[in-house]
Protein backbone atom coordinates (compact mmCIF):
# COMPACT_ATOMS: atom_id res chain seq x y z
CA UNK A 1 0.00 0.00 0.00
CA UNK A 2 2.85 2.41 0.85
CA UNK A 3 4.48 1.74 -2.52
CA UNK A 4 1.24 2.49 -4.34
CA UNK A 5 0.84 5.76 -2.42
CA UNK A 6 4.46 6.77 -3.11
CA UNK A 7 4.18 6.14 -6.86
CA UNK A 8 0.97 8.17 -7.04
CA UNK A 9 2.59 10.99 -5.03
CA UNK A 10 5.64 11.10 -7.31
CA UNK A 11 3.44 11.20 -10.41
CA UNK A 12 1.37 14.07 -9.02
CA UNK A 13 4.54 15.99 -8.06
CA UNK A 14 5.85 15.85 -11.58
CA UNK A 15 2.63 16.81 -13.36
CA UNK A 16 -0.31 15.29 -15.10
CA UNK A 17 0.93 15.57 -18.68
CA UNK A 18 1.33 12.88 -21.30
CA UNK A 19 2.76 9.40 -20.63
CA UNK A 20 6.17 8.86 -22.22
CA UNK A 21 7.59 12.00 -20.62
CA UNK A 22 8.18 10.50 -17.18
CA UNK A 23 10.62 7.87 -15.96
CA UNK A 24 10.59 6.14 -12.56
CA UNK A 25 12.39 3.62 -10.36
CA UNK A 26 11.77 2.01 -6.98
CA UNK A 27 15.21 0.40 -6.87
CA UNK A 28 17.62 3.28 -7.17
CA UNK A 29 20.94 3.05 -5.34
CA UNK A 30 22.25 5.78 -3.05
CA UNK A 31 25.20 5.42 -0.73
CA UNK A 32 27.24 7.69 1.44
CA UNK A 33 30.88 7.67 2.45
CA UNK A 34 32.39 9.36 5.49
CA UNK A 35 36.17 9.46 5.84
CA UNK A 36 37.28 10.48 9.34
CA UNK A 37 40.71 10.17 11.02
CA UNK A 38 39.65 7.17 13.11
CA UNK A 39 37.07 5.42 10.97
CA UNK A 40 35.58 5.11 7.50
CA UNK A 41 31.81 4.76 7.36
CA UNK A 42 29.85 3.70 4.31
CA UNK A 43 26.21 2.68 3.94
CA UNK A 44 24.14 1.62 0.92
CA UNK A 45 20.43 1.89 0.14
CA UNK A 46 18.93 0.15 -2.90
CA UNK A 47 15.30 0.98 -2.18
CA UNK A 48 15.31 4.52 -3.51
CA UNK A 49 12.21 5.87 -5.24
CA UNK A 50 12.87 8.42 -7.97
CA UNK A 51 11.00 10.02 -10.84
CA UNK A 52 12.04 12.33 -13.65
CA UNK A 53 10.01 14.29 -16.18
CA UNK A 54 12.16 14.69 -19.30
CA UNK A 55 9.93 17.45 -20.67
CA UNK A 56 10.36 19.78 -17.68
CA UNK A 57 13.60 18.43 -16.20
CA UNK A 58 11.88 17.94 -12.82
CA UNK A 59 13.35 15.20 -10.66
CA UNK A 60 12.30 13.87 -7.25
CA UNK A 61 13.73 11.30 -4.83
CA UNK A 62 12.41 9.69 -1.67
CA UNK A 63 14.76 7.64 0.50
CA UNK A 64 13.71 5.54 3.50
CA UNK A 65 16.50 6.18 6.01
CA UNK A 66 16.12 2.80 7.77
CA UNK A 67 16.97 1.10 4.47
CA UNK A 68 20.64 2.12 4.64
CA UNK A 69 22.77 -0.98 5.25
CA UNK A 70 26.08 -0.62 7.11
CA UNK A 71 29.00 -3.02 7.40
CA UNK A 72 28.52 -3.11 11.18
CA UNK A 73 25.09 -3.51 12.81
CA UNK A 74 26.07 -1.17 15.65
CA UNK A 75 26.81 1.63 13.15
CA UNK A 76 23.39 1.12 11.60
CA UNK A 77 21.73 1.23 15.03
CA UNK A 78 23.55 4.46 16.00
CA UNK A 79 22.76 6.03 12.61
CA UNK A 80 19.03 5.38 12.98
CA UNK A 81 18.64 6.01 16.72
CA UNK A 82 21.20 8.71 17.60
CA UNK A 83 22.01 10.70 14.48
CA UNK A 84 19.23 10.57 11.88
CA UNK A 85 16.50 9.70 14.41
CA UNK A 86 14.70 7.78 11.68
CA UNK A 87 11.69 7.02 13.89
CA UNK A 88 10.92 10.76 13.87
CA UNK A 89 12.40 11.59 10.45
CA UNK A 90 11.90 8.42 8.38
CA UNK A 91 12.62 9.85 4.92
CA UNK A 92 15.07 12.01 3.07
CA UNK A 93 13.71 13.75 -0.03
CA UNK A 94 15.07 15.69 -2.93
CA UNK A 95 12.99 17.85 -5.23
CA UNK A 96 14.79 19.61 -8.01
CA UNK A 97 15.44 20.19 -11.66
CA UNK A 98 17.99 19.39 -14.33
CA UNK A 99 19.03 22.94 -15.16
CA UNK A 100 20.73 22.15 -18.46
CA UNK A 101 18.05 19.80 -19.85
CA UNK A 102 18.10 21.71 -23.15
CA UNK A 103 21.57 20.17 -23.73
CA UNK A 104 20.30 16.61 -23.26
CA UNK A 105 18.63 14.85 -26.19
CA UNK A 106 16.49 12.22 -24.50
CA UNK A 107 15.53 10.80 -27.90
CA UNK A 108 19.15 10.03 -28.89
CA UNK A 109 21.20 7.36 -27.08
CA UNK A 110 24.36 8.73 -25.51
CA UNK A 111 25.92 10.00 -22.30
CA UNK A 112 25.17 13.60 -21.36
CA UNK A 113 26.47 15.85 -18.58
CA UNK A 114 23.72 16.98 -16.22
CA UNK A 115 23.54 19.89 -13.80
CA UNK A 116 20.98 19.53 -11.03
CA UNK A 117 19.75 21.99 -8.43
CA UNK A 118 17.07 21.51 -5.84
CA UNK A 119 16.19 21.10 -2.21
CA UNK A 120 17.43 18.20 -0.11
CA UNK A 121 15.57 17.44 3.11
CA UNK A 122 17.25 15.28 5.75
CA UNK A 123 16.39 15.16 9.46
CA UNK A 124 13.51 17.60 8.75
CA UNK A 125 15.96 20.28 7.55
CA UNK A 126 15.91 21.50 3.96
CA UNK A 127 18.89 23.00 2.14
CA UNK A 128 19.57 23.95 -1.46
CA UNK A 129 22.05 21.66 -3.19
CA UNK A 130 23.74 21.67 -6.57
CA UNK A 131 25.26 18.61 -8.18
CA UNK A 132 26.70 17.49 -11.47
CA UNK A 133 26.47 14.05 -12.95
CA UNK A 134 25.78 12.08 -16.10
CA UNK A 135 22.66 10.76 -17.77
CA UNK A 136 23.16 7.81 -20.09
CA UNK A 137 20.18 7.59 -22.42
CA UNK A 138 19.38 4.17 -23.94
CA UNK A 139 16.22 2.91 -25.66
CA UNK A 140 15.19 1.08 -22.45
CA UNK A 141 16.38 3.27 -19.56
CA UNK A 142 17.93 6.52 -18.44
CA UNK A 143 20.90 5.75 -16.20
CA UNK A 144 21.80 8.63 -13.90
CA UNK A 145 24.94 8.99 -11.79
CA UNK A 146 26.05 11.79 -9.49
CA UNK A 147 28.23 12.59 -6.50
CA UNK A 148 27.95 15.54 -4.15
CA UNK A 149 28.89 16.43 -0.57
CA UNK A 150 26.91 17.72 2.39
CA UNK A 151 27.88 18.88 5.85
CA UNK A 152 26.06 16.99 8.61
CA UNK A 153 25.80 20.15 10.73
CA UNK A 154 23.71 21.77 7.96
CA UNK A 155 21.01 19.18 8.70
CA UNK A 156 21.08 19.55 12.51
CA UNK A 157 22.71 16.15 12.91
CA UNK A 158 24.66 16.33 16.13
CA UNK A 159 27.89 14.37 16.54
CA UNK A 160 28.73 13.72 20.22
CA UNK A 161 32.28 14.72 21.24
CA UNK A 162 32.95 11.10 22.25
CA UNK A 163 32.78 9.95 18.58
CA UNK A 164 33.83 13.17 16.83
CA UNK A 165 37.03 11.56 15.49
CA UNK A 166 35.04 8.70 13.96
CA UNK A 167 32.50 10.70 11.98
CA UNK A 168 33.47 13.24 9.34
CA UNK A 169 31.80 16.65 9.18
CA UNK A 170 31.46 16.29 5.39
CA UNK A 171 29.77 13.27 3.83
CA UNK A 172 30.00 12.27 0.16
CA UNK A 173 26.72 11.08 -1.34
CA UNK A 174 26.64 8.92 -4.48
CA UNK A 175 23.58 8.40 -6.67
CA UNK A 176 23.13 5.60 -9.22
CA UNK A 177 19.63 5.20 -10.66
CA UNK A 178 18.14 3.42 -13.63
CA UNK A 179 14.84 5.01 -14.61
CA UNK A 180 12.31 3.23 -16.82
CA UNK A 181 9.62 4.95 -18.82
CA UNK A 182 6.33 5.34 -16.98
CA UNK A 183 3.45 4.05 -19.04
CA UNK A 184 -0.06 2.73 -18.43
CA UNK A 185 1.27 -0.82 -17.86
CA UNK A 186 3.69 0.32 -15.15
CA UNK A 187 0.83 2.17 -13.42
CA UNK A 188 -1.23 -1.04 -13.41
CA UNK A 189 1.65 -3.01 -11.88
CA UNK A 190 2.01 -0.39 -9.12
CA UNK A 191 -1.61 -0.96 -8.05
Mean pLDDT of the chain: 87
What integer is the mean pLDDT of 22-37? 93
pLDDT, position 167: 78
Q: What is the pLDDT of residue 3?
A: 52
Average pLDDT in the 123-135 region?
A: 97
Q: What's the domain range around 73? A: 2-190
Q: Residue 109 pLDDT > 80, yes or no?
A: yes
Q: What is the DSSP string of 118-176?
A: EEEEETTEEEEEEEEEEEEE-SSEEEEEEEEEEEGGGGT----GGGTTTS-SEEEEEEE
Best CA proximity match to 143, nearest among 68, 50, 38, 14:
50
Residue 7's pLDDT band, with cuts at 50, 70 and 90, is low
59's enclosing H/E stretch is: strand 58-64
Spatial contact of 122 and 92, defined as CB atoms under 8 Å apart:
yes
**Residue pLDDT, tens place only, 73-102:** 998 998 999 889 999 999 999 999 999 999
Is residue 20 exposed (0-12), middle (13-18) or buried (19+ Cβ within 10 Å)? exposed
What's the domain count of the chain?
Answer: 1
CATH number at residue 161: 2.40.128.110
Query: What is the pLDDT at residue 6?
Result: 53
Confidence tier at 8 by pLDDT (50, 70, 90): low
Amino acid sequence: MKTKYLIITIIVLLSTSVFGQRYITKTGHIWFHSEAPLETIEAHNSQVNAAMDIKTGAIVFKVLMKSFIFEKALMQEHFNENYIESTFYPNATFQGKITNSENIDFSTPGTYNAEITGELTIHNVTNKVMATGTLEVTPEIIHGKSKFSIQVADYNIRIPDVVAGKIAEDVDIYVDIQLKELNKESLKSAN
